[in-house]
Amino acid sequence: MQDWYWVRHGPTHAKTMIGWTDLPADLSDTAQIARVRDHLPGTAPLVSSDLSRAKDTAAAIAGDRVHDTISPTLREIHFGAWEARSHADVEAEARDHIFAFWDQPGDIAPPDGESWNTLRARVDGFVDSWRTPGPVVAVAHLGVIVSQIQRALSLPAREAFAYKIDNLSVTHLHRDAGDVWHVRTINHHP
Protein backbone atom coordinates (compact mmCIF):
# COMPACT_ATOMS: atom_id res chain seq x y z
CA MET A 1 0.00 0.00 0.00
CA GLN A 2 1.16 3.50 -0.81
CA ASP A 3 -0.06 7.02 -0.39
CA TRP A 4 1.21 9.62 -2.85
CA TYR A 5 0.92 13.23 -1.77
CA TRP A 6 1.36 15.26 -4.97
CA VAL A 7 2.26 18.91 -4.37
CA ARG A 8 2.19 21.32 -7.27
CA HIS A 9 5.22 23.62 -7.24
CA GLY A 10 5.00 27.32 -6.34
CA PRO A 11 3.76 29.72 -9.03
CA THR A 12 5.98 30.96 -11.85
CA HIS A 13 3.57 33.72 -12.98
CA ALA A 14 4.32 32.77 -16.60
CA LYS A 15 1.57 33.44 -19.13
CA THR A 16 3.01 31.06 -21.72
CA MET A 17 3.28 27.30 -22.19
CA ILE A 18 5.96 26.27 -19.71
CA GLY A 19 6.94 22.63 -19.74
CA TRP A 20 10.67 21.93 -19.65
CA THR A 21 11.62 25.61 -19.52
CA ASP A 22 13.34 26.04 -16.17
CA LEU A 23 11.63 28.99 -14.48
CA PRO A 24 11.96 29.69 -10.76
CA ALA A 25 8.98 29.43 -8.42
CA ASP A 26 7.68 32.32 -6.36
CA LEU A 27 8.01 30.95 -2.83
CA SER A 28 7.17 34.16 -1.01
CA ASP A 29 3.91 32.79 0.49
CA THR A 30 5.69 31.33 3.50
CA ALA A 31 2.43 30.84 5.41
CA GLN A 32 1.02 28.57 2.67
CA ILE A 33 4.32 26.72 2.41
CA ALA A 34 4.25 26.10 6.17
CA ARG A 35 0.65 24.83 5.99
CA VAL A 36 1.61 22.42 3.19
CA ARG A 37 4.70 21.24 5.12
CA ASP A 38 2.64 20.64 8.27
CA HIS A 39 -0.13 18.82 6.36
CA LEU A 40 2.18 16.22 4.81
CA PRO A 41 3.32 13.02 6.54
CA GLY A 42 6.49 13.89 8.40
CA THR A 43 8.55 10.79 7.72
CA ALA A 44 7.70 10.32 4.04
CA PRO A 45 10.49 10.40 1.48
CA LEU A 46 10.41 13.51 -0.69
CA VAL A 47 10.80 13.28 -4.47
CA SER A 48 10.63 16.01 -7.07
CA SER A 49 11.10 16.99 -10.67
CA ASP A 50 14.58 18.26 -11.47
CA LEU A 51 13.24 21.63 -12.69
CA SER A 52 14.03 24.42 -10.24
CA ARG A 53 10.41 25.40 -9.61
CA ALA A 54 9.71 21.90 -8.24
CA LYS A 55 13.13 21.30 -6.66
CA ASP A 56 13.03 24.62 -4.78
CA THR A 57 9.43 24.05 -3.66
CA ALA A 58 10.47 20.63 -2.35
CA ALA A 59 13.32 22.21 -0.40
CA ALA A 60 10.91 24.78 1.05
CA ILE A 61 8.43 22.15 2.30
CA ALA A 62 11.02 19.53 3.28
CA GLY A 63 11.14 20.06 7.02
CA ASP A 64 12.60 16.82 8.42
CA ARG A 65 11.93 14.85 5.25
CA VAL A 66 14.84 13.56 3.20
CA HIS A 67 14.77 15.01 -0.34
CA ASP A 68 16.84 12.31 -1.94
CA THR A 69 15.20 11.75 -5.33
CA ILE A 70 15.28 14.50 -7.94
CA SER A 71 14.19 13.12 -11.28
CA PRO A 72 13.69 14.46 -14.82
CA THR A 73 11.02 11.75 -15.13
CA LEU A 74 8.72 13.98 -13.06
CA ARG A 75 9.06 16.98 -15.40
CA GLU A 76 6.06 18.70 -16.91
CA ILE A 77 4.98 17.77 -20.44
CA HIS A 78 7.52 18.90 -23.03
CA PHE A 79 5.96 21.51 -25.30
CA GLY A 80 8.85 21.33 -27.78
CA ALA A 81 8.67 24.19 -30.32
CA TRP A 82 5.77 25.67 -28.34
CA GLU A 83 7.81 26.09 -25.14
CA ALA A 84 7.58 29.55 -23.56
CA ARG A 85 5.17 30.74 -26.26
CA SER A 86 1.63 32.00 -25.74
CA HIS A 87 -1.36 30.00 -26.89
CA ALA A 88 -2.31 32.89 -29.17
CA ASP A 89 1.10 32.91 -30.88
CA VAL A 90 1.07 29.17 -31.49
CA GLU A 91 -2.57 29.27 -32.59
CA ALA A 92 -1.74 31.95 -35.16
CA GLU A 93 0.67 29.59 -36.93
CA ALA A 94 -0.66 26.11 -36.09
CA ARG A 95 -4.34 26.51 -35.20
CA ASP A 96 -5.49 22.99 -36.09
CA HIS A 97 -2.48 21.34 -34.48
CA ILE A 98 -2.74 23.10 -31.12
CA PHE A 99 -6.52 22.67 -31.08
CA ALA A 100 -6.13 18.90 -31.65
CA PHE A 101 -3.41 18.71 -28.99
CA TRP A 102 -5.76 20.11 -26.31
CA ASP A 103 -9.08 18.78 -27.62
CA GLN A 104 -7.94 15.22 -28.38
CA PRO A 105 -5.11 14.60 -25.91
CA GLY A 106 -3.37 11.32 -26.49
CA ASP A 107 -0.83 10.75 -29.23
CA ILE A 108 -0.74 14.29 -30.68
CA ALA A 109 2.48 16.09 -29.76
CA PRO A 110 3.85 19.59 -30.37
CA PRO A 111 6.73 19.75 -32.86
CA ASP A 112 9.80 18.30 -31.07
CA GLY A 113 7.70 17.84 -27.93
CA GLU A 114 5.84 14.98 -26.32
CA SER A 115 2.27 13.76 -26.37
CA TRP A 116 -0.01 13.37 -23.36
CA ASN A 117 0.32 9.59 -23.61
CA THR A 118 4.12 9.88 -23.51
CA LEU A 119 3.95 12.04 -20.37
CA ARG A 120 1.51 9.64 -18.76
CA ALA A 121 3.67 6.58 -19.52
CA ARG A 122 6.76 8.35 -18.20
CA VAL A 123 5.13 9.28 -14.87
CA ASP A 124 3.33 5.93 -14.49
CA GLY A 125 6.70 4.20 -14.91
CA PHE A 126 8.28 6.31 -12.17
CA VAL A 127 5.40 5.70 -9.74
CA ASP A 128 5.25 1.97 -10.53
CA SER A 129 8.98 1.59 -9.89
CA TRP A 130 8.57 3.05 -6.39
CA ARG A 131 7.66 -0.03 -4.40
CA THR A 132 8.61 1.06 -0.89
CA PRO A 133 5.40 0.87 1.16
CA GLY A 134 4.12 3.92 2.96
CA PRO A 135 3.64 7.56 2.06
CA VAL A 136 5.58 9.47 -0.59
CA VAL A 137 5.59 13.25 -1.05
CA ALA A 138 6.14 14.24 -4.69
CA VAL A 139 6.59 17.83 -5.84
CA ALA A 140 5.80 18.12 -9.50
CA HIS A 141 3.81 19.91 -12.18
CA LEU A 142 0.21 20.31 -13.32
CA GLY A 143 0.42 17.75 -16.14
CA VAL A 144 2.19 15.18 -13.96
CA ILE A 145 -0.44 15.44 -11.23
CA VAL A 146 -3.36 15.38 -13.68
CA SER A 147 -1.88 12.27 -15.32
CA GLN A 148 -2.05 10.48 -11.98
CA ILE A 149 -5.61 11.67 -11.32
CA GLN A 150 -6.49 10.30 -14.76
CA ARG A 151 -4.93 7.00 -13.74
CA ALA A 152 -6.65 6.82 -10.35
CA LEU A 153 -10.08 7.65 -11.74
CA SER A 154 -9.66 5.67 -15.00
CA LEU A 155 -10.66 8.74 -17.01
CA PRO A 156 -10.04 9.64 -20.62
CA ALA A 157 -7.37 12.35 -20.80
CA ARG A 158 -9.80 15.04 -21.94
CA GLU A 159 -11.95 14.50 -18.83
CA ALA A 160 -8.89 14.56 -16.58
CA PHE A 161 -7.99 17.97 -18.03
CA ALA A 162 -11.06 19.40 -16.28
CA TYR A 163 -9.37 19.06 -12.88
CA LYS A 164 -7.88 22.24 -11.52
CA ILE A 165 -4.59 21.89 -9.66
CA ASP A 166 -3.47 25.10 -7.99
CA ASN A 167 0.09 25.95 -7.08
CA LEU A 168 1.00 24.73 -3.58
CA SER A 169 -2.03 22.45 -3.42
CA VAL A 170 -1.95 18.79 -2.35
CA THR A 171 -3.52 15.89 -4.23
CA HIS A 172 -3.57 12.65 -2.22
CA LEU A 173 -3.82 9.34 -4.11
CA HIS A 174 -3.79 5.90 -2.47
CA ARG A 175 -2.70 2.59 -4.00
CA ASP A 176 -4.18 -0.36 -2.12
CA ALA A 177 -2.72 -3.85 -1.66
CA GLY A 178 -4.47 -4.97 -4.85
CA ASP A 179 -2.68 -2.25 -6.86
CA VAL A 180 -5.94 -0.31 -7.29
CA TRP A 181 -5.75 3.48 -7.07
CA HIS A 182 -8.15 5.63 -5.04
CA VAL A 183 -8.48 9.41 -4.80
CA ARG A 184 -8.42 10.82 -1.28
CA THR A 185 -8.26 14.56 -2.14
CA ILE A 186 -7.67 16.67 -5.23
CA ASN A 187 -6.35 20.24 -5.16
CA HIS A 188 -6.51 20.47 -1.36
CA HIS A 189 -5.37 23.72 0.24
CA PRO A 190 -4.14 22.99 3.77
Beta-bridged to residue 67, according to DSSP, are 46
Q: Which of 9, 78, 141, 172 is catalytic?
A: 9
Residue 76 catalytic?
A: yes
Q: Which of 13, 39, 67, 76 is catalytic?
A: 76
Rounded-to-integer distance, Cα 15 and Cα 72, Å = 23
Rounded-to-integer distance, Cα 51 and Cα 72, Å = 7
- Spatial neighbors of 26 by CB under 8 A, at least 6 apart, are 10, 11, 12, 13
3-state SS, residue 150: helix
Residue 9 catalytic?
A: yes
Q: Is 115 left (phi over 0), alpha (psi -120 to 50) or beta?
A: beta
Rounded-to-integer distance, Cα 102 and Cα 138, Å = 25
DSSP, res 132: -
Q: What residues act catalytically?
A: 9, 76
